[in-house]
Amino acid sequence: MADRDGGSRGSHRPKANAHALASSATERPPGAANAGPWRRLRTLGDAMIGTILRSIERIAALPPQWAERDRGRRHLREMSDYMLRDLGLSRADVERESSQWFWRK
């Protein structure tokens, strides 16, 4: 007895088993057999470069912050007692603040 496509019932294309499908989905190009470890190293290297760049950005932002703190403390020292009272500060508060090193908050 023949089925619709003209072949016999028992003749059909063999189905690919699950193992063959899984292996074909994960095939790598020639020479890429050890790409996994290198891919991990590249990803790790990218992460390290990102960390280094963020650290450099933070370090580069420090001198302007220090300069701003120094300007602010100098400006406080130059204010009159009347202006300091208006801000709710005393001369002792200003002396304590201005005696700090520029890198301290």
Query: pLDDT digit string (tens) for 79-91?
Result: 999 999 999 999 9
Provide the domain count of the chain: 1
* pTM, two decimal places: 0.49
Domain membership of residue 21 (yes or no) is no
Q: How far apart are CA 9 and CA 49, in angstroms?
A: 63
Domain membership of residue 20 (yes or no) is no
Domain membership of residue 15 (yes or no) is no
| Mean pLDDT of all residues belonging to the chain | 76
How distant, in Å, are the alpha carbons of 28, 33, 45, 47, 93 from that of 38?
14, 10, 10, 14, 58
Residues whose CB falls within 8 Å of the CB of residue 90, separated by 6 or more in sequence, listed in order? 84
Domain membership of residue 50 (yes or no) is yes
pLDDT (tens digit per residue) in 19-42: 554 544 455 555 555 556 666 667
Domain membership of residue 88 (yes or no) is yes
pLDDT reported for residue 33: 55
Q: For residue 65, what are the domain limits?
A: 37-98
Domain membership of residue 87 (yes or no) is yes
